[in-house]
Each structure stands twice: as structure tokens, then as C-alpha cells.
Structure 1
Amino acid sequence: MTFRRKAMVALAGSTIALGGTVTVAVPAHAATARNGVCESGEFCLYYNSDQGGSVSDFTTSVSNYGTDPATCYVFKGTGAGKGLCVKNNAASVWNRTSKTVYVYYNSGYAGTKQSFATGVKGNLNSTLKNNDASHHIGAISGTVTGATVISRAKVWVDAGVPYSQTHYYQGYREDCSGYVSMAWGLAKPGTTTSAMPNYGKYITKSALRTGDVLLNSNVGSQGHVVIFQKWANTAHTSYWAYEESGSHGAVHRINPYPYYSGYGTFKPFHYSKLVS
């Protein structure tokens, strides 16, 4: 073999030796997203349980898988499910990224979630199997848990903070929306009921979780909002709530679902950065 031929063979290897003392590694091949192969650095969803059927591979977070066959994220790999939309069709995952990945029931990283640590292969639980809408790689910045929302709300109840649209406590207005703003961790002095829809999305009754709210988004005194803690009965006709009540101030009590009659229309609402 000639010297020229030997040089070409050496360059074809995974490392290059220089003077017998220094080795330079050839860069590893980067993962190719959306090619139907679950590669290192990717988060992968599978059509069947136990990483079976077609796979859909991702290198980034996706807030909405979509449902339109022309534009949705689909299963790319060979096997059962290939070409179908990923949303509400996945049964298992493989997390090959370097961060914990969270799969959500709703779009916009909302609703019930399930976490998968780095390297984990697993099946989606009974709530999320074929009910998946989004995933986030790593924790979402600025998130708040339902437990934290309730802990903050309890402070005002314990302090007996009265209702007021002109006074402030902890830098927040002492009205219903100021109270929820404080519990969610929004900017002081707090948003209003009419602007609150900008901070999340309306959800179904069955999707209500600790830290969500029942919202009447009308302007001023015509609007109201209360924090949902948990159901008070198995029939889900009443719930434990925290609220700044015009007649009682900060209070923790059982309310009828969705709220007392004569106070307008209330709908379940989820703050986009609530992760409970």
C-alpha cells in the first residue's frame, strides 16, 4: 500500500492520529428530527405500547401536535400508525434527550401531565394514552404548581385580607383578580377579570385541577374569579375554593359548581404556566 493510500485509510477512521501523540475526534452524527428513527438527543412517541408501531421523533418541544391530517405532526416510522396524527394517538415514549420531558393532556402544555426522565422508555398512563396533545423538553420557565397556588392563597385567608379595589396587600390589589394574580405569581398589582383570558385557556369541568379557576371574565364588578382547590363531593356539584369575596374578604369555603346563581356565567379556566 502506498503512503497516499495509507493516509486516505487513516482519515476514514473515527479519530486522526497526529505525530503519535494527539487524537482529534470526528464529530458524532447529529440527530435528524422527523425522519422516523429514534436517535440520541430526541424525544420519541410511539403508536403502540412498549415502543411498538410507528415512531414520531422530535428534537424540540411542541405545544400543539395538531389534528388536521394536512398539517399535523404524524408518525413517521414504519409499522402500525404510520401517517396518522400523533395527537391523541400515542401509547408509549422513549426519552433520548438530556432533560426530563413532560407529556400533556392538553395543547399549550396544559392539563394533566406525565414526566419521563432522561433515557427512560415508558408507556403513557391511562389518562394520557391516546390523549396526548403536547410535550415540553425540560421544565417550563416561570411555572407554578397547584400546591404553591394554594399555599399563597392561604396566606391571605389567614391574614384576613378584606376585599378592596383600591387597597393593596403584598403589592397586589385586594380584589378577586388581584388575589388570583398573587396566587399565580403574575406581575403586581395584578391583572383584571376581563384580561385574565389572555393568561391561559378555558377547559372542561373534568379537566379542573388544583390551582385552576372558575372565571366570569366580565368587566369590573360584573366579573369575578375564584381558585379551585378540589372537589367537595363525588358528584362534583360543589368544590373547595379560595376567593376574595366582596362580602367576606379572603375566604376558604365550599362553593356550588360553577358558582352561586345570580352572579353571571362562570367557566373552568387554566393558567398556561400552572403545572399541577
Structure 2
Amino acid sequence: MTQEKSKQTASDSLFSTAHRTASPIVIGHRTNRDQVIERAKSWLDPPVPYSQEKLHENKYGIYRTDCSGFVSMAWGIPGAPSNKHGGLDTIGLAQVGFEVAKRRLRAGDALLCIEGTRLTRHVTLFADWADRRCSTYWAFEQCGGTGTVYRRVVYPYEKAAFRYMPFRYSLIEN
């Protein structure tokens, strides 16, 4: 059952820091790539509306309905009530994994941008390469104006002004 609830702003997240840690922080539980994709698909039908201030509940828990709340849900990182913010923010996600080489991206990994402000930082969930040159990929994404989508994206993220890094959750099993 879908239910939206109000929450405090994402900017007061307990997990926000200015820098990533040298080794990932362990938050959540082991998951596999099929589970991550299954969880991501759960927000597609119907698409969950985007908001940095509301929460969405389904069988996987209660999560903030912005991009980082969506990836927190897909990766199985605790949402509300254990994390009253409904998942990690984008900088928090950078603390629970590590950067990988572009060619090593696999389903369930992410393209993560931690530069800028909470209004410009973003994360998208990688599904598969859309071409052999690895210049476009299929992604699950939670974005303003559309909510949850599955779409083709130009690598690393369209013509973004900020750097997007290929990223892997430390508790995902290959």
C-alpha cells in the first residue's frame, strides 16, 4: 500500500558530511543485484512522485521520495523509522560504497554526483549498458518533474556540469 508522509528536510540528515570516508561505512544488509533491480522496479508502477520532503511506503519500507531516498530503498539501506529521514542523502550514499571503473559498472551500481548543493547533487541507479561503446546506459531514476523513471542516459549523466562517478554499494554481492 502506498502512503506519503511528511518529514523533516533532507538537509538536516544525520549522514551528511563534506567528505567521503576512506573505507565505506556499513549501513544496511547484504543484497544482490537482482534484489536491487526488483526493488527499483517497485517504484515504477505507478511512478512515485518526486519530493525532498515526503516519504513513500511500500513492501520495502518507508523512504524519502528524492533520488537518494530511492537509491537507499533499492540498496536496502534502512528507511524510516530507524532513519527518520527516510534513507541516506547523496553524500551519505558516498560513504557506504566505493568508486569503480566505468567498464566495471553492473546492474544495481550507481552514477553519483556529490558536488554542489542539495539541489544539484544527484544519483541514478545503473541497470545496463545501452550500447557497445558504453556511451549510454539504462537507468532507474527518481527526478523532479517526472518521479520514478526507467530511461536511457548519456554517460556519465547527460551533459552535467558536475562530475558523476561510477559507484558501488559495499554490501552488494556479485
Q: For residues 242 and 175 of structure 1, what CA distance do their matches in structure 2 show?
A: 12
Matched residue of 2:119: which SS? helix
Aligned equivalent of 1:149: 36
Normalised TM-score (structure 1): 0.48
TM-score, normalised by the number of residues in structure 2: 0.75
Q: Which residue is equivalent to 2:89?
A: 192
Tell me the number of residue pairs that the alignment of Structure 1 and Structure 2 aligns. Answer: 137
> Partner of 1:237 in structure 2?
135
Whole-angstrom distance in 1 between the partners of 2:148 and 2:78: 20
Name structure 1 gaps, 5 residues minimum: 1-107, 109-140
2: CA distance between counterparts of 1:144 and 1:244? 21
| 1:166-208 residue CA offsets vs partner (Å, 9 max, x unmatched) | 1111210000000000000101110011121110101110111
Q: Which runs of 4+ in 1 moved over 4 A?
A: none
Of all paired residues, the percent bearing the same amino acid is 39
Correspondence 1:217-228 to 2 at 5 A: 217-218=114-115, 219-228=117-126
Task: Return the index of the structure with the highest Cα Rg.
Answer: 1
Partner of 1:275: 173
* 1:101-120 paired onto structure 2 within 5 Å: none
Alignment of 1:63-82 (within 5 A): none
| Distance across 2 between alignment mates of 1:256 and 1:158 | 24
Does structure 1 retain, via aligned residues, the 8 Å contact 2:135–2:155?
A: yes
Contact kept in structure 1, 2:49 and 2:146, CA below 8 Å = yes
Partner of 1:4: none
Matched with 1:176 is 67
Residue 29 of structure 2 contacts residue 77 of structure 2 at CA under 8 Å; is this kept in 1?
no
Please give the secondary structure, in 1, of the residue aligned with 2:87.
coil
8 Å CA contact 2:50–2:147 kept in 1: the answer is yes
Partner amino acid, structure 2, of 1:209 = R
After the TM superposition, which residues 88-167 of structure 1 pair with which residues of structure 2 at under 5 Å, given as runs? 142-167=29-54
Structure scoring higher RCO (CA < 8 A, sep ≥ 6) equals 2
- Cα offset, 1:262, TM superposition: 3.3
Q: Which runs of 5+ in 2 are unaligned?
A: 1-22, 80-85
Please name the residue that 1:100 is paired with. none
